[in-house]
Amino acid sequence: MWKSLKKLFSASDLRKFSVSVGEPWDFSGPDGDNLIVGNEIIDVSRPDNLFLIIGIKPTNFDRHTYDALGLSARDGKEVSDDALKLGNEIAVNGEFGSINDGEFEGSGQLQIVGSCKRA
């Protein structure tokens, strides 16, 4: 799956996002401690509660490897495109998953808490 998503990381027209991970406090991934960076995946079906899906470097979490991260607003409100403008930061809950047949398949559980902004 990573090979198919790898081309997304070089696409200049996709928006890039960074997630600062607050919980778990000892999170460490391929982008560094308490950091996840990825590009928006736009052509994917996603659950209604998720406002953004980003393709990420393969990340090991809870004995599984994931290549996508689904984000929802921590306050449960809908996130507008204006809120995602460069410079704004949004409090988020995150769920790791994978993209299969054009759909986000999440782990089914909250796995990270943090804040997201355009990079």
pLDDT at 12: 52
Relative to beta strand 89-100, strand 103-106 is: antiparallel
pLDDT at 37: 96
Res. 68: pLDDT tops 80: yes
Question: Could you report the per-residue pLDDT of 70-112, keeping only the tens digit for each?
Answer: 999 998 887 877 787 777 899 999 999 999 888 899 998 889 9
Question: Could you report the per-residue pLDDT of 28-41, keeping only the tens digit for each?
Answer: 999 999 999 999 98
Average pLDDT taken over every residue of the chain = 85
Res. 60: pLDDT tops 80: yes
Three state DSSP letters for the chain: CHHHHHHHHHCCCCCEEEEEEEECCCCEECCEECEEEEEECCCCECCCCCCEEEEEEEEEECCEEEEEEEEEECCCCCCCCHHHCCCCEEEEEEEEEEEECCEEEECCCCCEEEEEEEC
Res. 8: pLDDT tops 70: no
